[in-house]
Structures are given as C-alpha cells and as structure tokens.
Amino acid sequence: MEWNAVGLTILIALLLLWNLDFVATLLNLKALSPELPEEFSDVFDAERYAKSQQYTRESARFGIIESVVSLFVLLGFWLGGGFGWLDALTRSWTSNELLAGLYFLSLLYLGHYLISLPLSLYSTFVIEEKFGFNKTTPGTFVSDQVKSLLLSALLGLPLAAGLIWIFGNVPHAWLWAWVLFTVVQLLLMWLAPAVILPLFNKFEPMKEGPLRESIEKMAAKCEFPLAEISVMDGSKRSTKANAYFTGFGKTKKIALYDTLVEEQSDDELVAVLAHEIGHFKCKHIIQRLGVAIAQSAALFFLLGLVIDQNGAFARMLFNAFGVETISPQVGLVLFAILFSPASRILGIFSNAWSRRHEFEADAYAANAMGTSEHLITALKKLSAKNLSNLTPHPIRVLLDYSHPPMLERLSALRARSNP
C-alpha cells in the first residue's frame, strides 16, 4: 500500500463525510422541540410526544454507533492491507479469474454481513422492542436472514459473474455491463411482487366491502390500471404502517399493510392510495427509473476507467489500497468506496427532487378526493403511530429526507384547502 494523491483524497473525503453526518445528527437532536406543534395536538398527547422524541434520540445515537463501526472497519481493513491480502488469498485458491473474483466478492460480502448482524439484532430486539414497534420473533429473524443470504447468492453471484466476465473479455465493456445491469434491474422489478416479496410476507386479496369498492372507484376515477388489491401481514415484523404499489404497464398492484388498514378510516386509506396513484399519474416512477438508468450508465463508464489495466489512475487507485493486480472484482469494490462521497452529495439533489414529487402527489390526492382533510388526518395518524420526528433540522432534511417534514406537507395541503 502506498500513500498517493488518490488514496489521500479518498481518506479525507470519507472523514469529511462522516463529520458532516455527525454534525447533522447533533443539530437534529438539538432541534427537538419540547413543545408539541399545535397541528398534532389531536393525535399526540404529552406522553406520546415525549416518547417520539426519545425514539429519535435513541435512533440517532445508534446511527452514530453504526457509522463509527462502519468507518473504523473500512479504515482498519484498508490501512491493514486487507484488500490486497484478500485478493491474494482468493487468487491462491484458483487460477480461474472468474472464480477468484466470485470468491473475493463473496468473502467481502460475508464479512460485512457478519459485522452488521449484531447491529441489526440490537436495532430490532432492543430499540424497536423498547418503543413497541417490534413484532419479529427470533424464528422470523433467522428465517429472514437465511432467505436474504440465499437470494443474495442466487441473484448476486450470476450478476457479479457476468460483470467480471464482461470487463475481462469484451470490448467497450462498460457499455455491455450497463446493459446487463439494467436488464437485471428491470427483471427484478418485475419479479419482486410475484416471486421475491411473497417469500417474506403473506399477501391476501382484500375482501369485498366498502373499502375495496371505494379504492376501485378511486382507481377508475383516476384511470389507474389497478389489477390487484392486497393486504400484507406487516404486523408480522412491526407495528409501523405503510402502503405501496408495484407493477409495470397496465398491471398495477396495490399492497396495504394490515397495520395501516386497522388504524385508518376508509376515506383516509383511499386518500393514502390516491397519493400513491399520484406518483403514477405524475410520471414520477418513470422519471426516477429513467434517471437511475442514465446514472448507472455514467457509473459504469467511470468504472471502466477505474479498472483499465493501462490507465494511470487505475494503477494509483489499486496501489493506494495495496492491491497488486488490477481486476474487475476489486475495481467494483474500490469504485464503490471512491464514489461514496460523491454519491452522498448527489443524494442531496435526488432527495430534493423526491420531496418535490411528494408535494405533487399530495396535491394530486387532494384534488382526486375533492378535499385535503382525509390525507391530512391520515398523515397525522401515521406520524403518531410511527413516532415520527416532527421538528427535524433543515440540514438533516437536506441530507437524508426523501419526504418533506410532516409539518411542511400538512401546511401545503392546508394551503390548498384555504386559498
């Protein structure tokens, strides 16, 4: 390992990024207001509001611990020569470059998984349990872990093998690697509702009744191609509530958490779904997908430069991490580390775009319902149920919030009701 301009730049960027997140967390905790915003007085009492703030504090402290562990493990492995050692170890097992690459990526993934596992256990069975959210049993947790590992192997290994082979054998490799990645991404989006998600949750068709009729009526009014309405057993793992839709083209499927159905009135549930329909009608989904595909093209182009065996930058990057042989498998990992600070900055713009989309979907739902009130009450109930932070600091919002703070959403909705 040698200290060069590339290695020093990455190190400084990682440390600055960590400090930025740390400062944002401290500011977010300082922004917690002891006074309940008047808007939420009908869904929060003093005890629940205090509980929501305590949940924010404990989650933030745990987030700091997670980030410290992640940073120190990365720096320890890097500065201790771990990348070069692991590459040499896996190459000693086989002369086949493809197999060596899969061994390298698999061991790195397993190492990350084992380090993250105790943190996941603590988050689920200590923090979430303490605040009444956790419904996951040890058996369900183990089952989820096994299924996730198997899915990672079944889906991740073929994709990794394809990328390694392409970068090692095909001209204009970045272009073909991007095509492969995009095809797999779209395939997974298509398979997820029917194949992957049912591995973890049960989806029951919504029973006939006033709620189903109201949802179907709203879908017809919005010309939304609704093919299926399901209720998901979200209460199997958590008391938190949510709803989402999936599907391509003319086959859209809506799934509601059973916890959401239990807590909301029919009008409120229809308003929440009208918001999700709003994302479809405003073409947010296709816009985000298009940007994601274009962004992945740019990333694969840059990745091609990073693993160019004749490139000066690639040689400096691999030297900085103590890796002798320039290879696709190591390049994938080093590129992820190299790009992480830039990804964090780009995330600011992505989150701002997403927050704008949320306002637009809220406005669509209010228009479709003919009133803002049902969505307002639904969002307030969700905030109380999920112990949301009602007064996040603007820096935290800027860095991490894909949805606007709840007070801003409600204020925008009320402005529509009271022009």
Among 87, 128, 268, 362, the one annotated catalytic? 362
CA angle 412, 416, 419 (to 5 degrees): 115
Q: What separation in angstroms does the CA of 191 have from each of 54, 195, 246, 247?
A: 39, 5, 10, 9
DSSP state letter for 314: H
Question: By the 8 A CB rule, do 55 and 131 touch?
Answer: yes
- The helix (H) or strand (E) run that includes residue 277 is helix 266-281
Q: Which two tokens stand for residue 178?
A: 């991007």
Residue 247: closest CA among 262, 231, 228 = 228
Among 21, 128, 268, 276, the one annotated catalytic? 276
Annotated catalytic, 233? no
When computed from its CA atoms, the radius of gyration of the chain, rounded to whole angstroms, is 24
Annotated catalytic, 276? yes
Question: One-letter amino acid identity for 399?
Answer: L
Please report the DSSP string for 245-256 in residue order. Answer: EE-STT-EEEEE
Q: What separation in angstroms does the CA of 148 have from each of 97, 138, 140, 329, 357?
A: 27, 15, 12, 22, 31
Alpha helices in 126-251 (DSSP H): 128-130, 138-151, 157-169, 173-191, 210-221
SS3 257: strand
Q: How far apart are alpha carbons 260 and 241 in whole angstroms? A: 5
Q: How far apart are alpha carbons 389 and 20 in whole angstroms? A: 20
Question: One-letter amino acid identity for 309?
Answer: Q
Residue 177: closest CA among 159, 151, 155, 158 = 159
Q: Which residues are catalytic?
A: 276, 362
